[in-house]
Amino acid sequence: MLEVSHVEMRFGQKEVLRGVTLTLHQGVYGLLGPNGSGKTTLMRCIAGVYRPAAGIIRTPERIGYLPQRFGMFKQLTVYEAMAYFAALKQIPARTQRKAIMECLEQVHLADRADDRIGALSGGMVRRVGIAQALLGCPELILADEPTAGLDPEERLRFKNVISNLRGGPTVVLSTHIVEDVESTCDHIILLYSGKVLAESTADDLRAQAAGKVFSVPADKRCQLQQPYHLLREEAGTGTLRVLSDLPQPGDLAAPTVEDGYMLYIRGRM
């Protein structure tokens, strides 16, 4: 279980976290928010990298943390790097090898265990980062933008790894890409400008957007009723996807999580 209460953080004059309060139980949580909303800062506070200016954070003892930027000595092999993290996590030497290989297995790097990190691609290094976060059966896993730099196939694989964890630890993934959280996360936390806007689920977000998303043909653009929020122009069909509380000249579209997310964000942009 993870408890964050009234956490504040500032860099100089800039307030980055403004009273964040959260209680997370078992399950996969998606920390969703646009760039600069304070996701990384919050993750760092939880992981113990930063000490918050105010507030209390209660975490379980064993934490796996994948920072936004992960790197390791290029001279070490994947296995040696993992062994170093295993030692830091105080995994007993007897079970170390097994634990490491299991984690590498999960990120499909078991066959690269003896390769130097310097010889791996950026995506593979990222996967080593994921593997080290998984190491030692942590009760809390924090992954900051875990899918950044992964190709679609690796992204899918990561989602599977997370799905497999379901029912075990508390997992917090931060991302600015709605798609990432849609399928994997049980819960979604919307962070905006250092504040939690909502704690919700994918279905919930979708439900909230129901009846508010319209598909408007491009030639009816001038008939749109204010206020509305243009989500995007679909290039192929030339239709506009519009979010609005008012009826609009077009068909109602099936709502997505992103639409729900935008419902929260739009007024503030």
Partner 1 sequence: MIRSIRVSNRVFYRGLSLPMSYGLVLAATLASLIRLTQGALSPVDYLTDSLKLGIFGVLYFALAGYELTSMLRKLGGQECLSAFPGAQCGLLFSHILVLLPLLAVWSAVIFGGQVIYFFQQGLDYPPYLLHCLLAVMLYCLLPGLDGLLLGALLERTERPSAYGTVVLAVLLSSSVCDELFAGSSLFGVSPMAVLDWFHLTVPNGNWMADANYGVPMEFCRWCLAAFWCLVLTSVLLWQYRRDGGRAVPIAAAILLAAALLCAARFALRGEDDLLLKDSRPDGILSSEYQYRANHPTGELGVADFSVEEYDLKITAKGALKVSTTVNLSRDDLREYRFTLYHGYEVSSVTDERGAALPFTRDGDFLDISAPDGAKAFTVLYSGKGWKYIANEQAITLPGYFPYYPIPGHLALWADGSAQTVTGLPPARFRVEVTSPRTVFSNLPKTGHNQFEGVAEAVTLYAGLVDETVRGRASYICSPVGREQIESIDLERADRLWQEWCEITGETRTLDLAGKTVFIQPDTISACGKGDSESVVIFDDHILLANMNSTPETICAYYLLEYLPSDAERGLLRDVFKQDLVVGIGNWSGEKPDYDALQILREYPSMDALNEIGDEEQWFAAVEQYTSASERFHALYAWQCSQLGRDTVLREVYQYLKDSTPSQDQVTFLYDLGGAS
Instruction: Pick out residues in 147-206 that bind ligand ADP (CB under 6 A).
Output: none
Q: Quote the least distance from Cβ 45 to ligand ADP, whole Å.
A: 10
- Pick one of 28, 32, 83, 262: the residue that binds partner 1 (CB under 8 A): 83
Q: Token digits for 224? A: 């749109």
Classified as helix, coil or strand, 104 is helix
By CB under 5 A, tell whether 175 contacts Mg ion.
no
Residue 237, both tokens: 């069909």
13 binding ligand ADP? (CB under 6 A): no
248 binds, among Mg ion, partner 1, ligand ADP, none (CB under 5 to 8 A by kind): none
Binding partner 1 by CB under 8 A: which of 72, 135, 143, 205? 72
Q: How far is the CB of 21 from partner 1 (least distance, A)?
A: 22
- Contact pick of 3, 6, 23, 36 for ligand ADP (by CB under 6 A): 36
HEC readout, 112-180: HCCCEHHHCCHHHHHHHHHHHHHCCCCCEEEEECCCCCCCHHHHHHHHHHHHHHCCCCEEEEEECCHHH
**Least distance between partner 1 and beta carbon 164 (Å):** 23
28, 171 contact by CB (below 8 A) = yes
Contact 85, 46 (CB under 8 A): no
158 in Cβ contact with 126 (< 8 Å):
no
- Counting contacts by CB under 6 A, is residue 16 touching ligand ADP? yes
CA angle 231, 234, 236 (to 5 degrees): 180
State both tokens at 256.
Answer: 């997505």
Q: Are strands 14-24 and 140-144 parallel, antiparallel or unpaired?
A: unpaired
CA distance 266 to 258: 11
The CB-nearest residue to Mg ion is 40
Q: Candidates 24-32, 48-56, 151-159, 226-234: pick the segment binding partner 1 (CB under 8 A).
A: 48-56
Asked if 260 touches ligand ADP (CB under 6 A), the answer is no
Does residue number 84 form part of the binding site for partner 1 (CB under 8 A)?
yes
Name which of 16 and 104 has its Cβ closer to Mg ion.
16
Interacting residue with ligand ADP among 38, 138, 250, 255 (CB under 6 A): 38
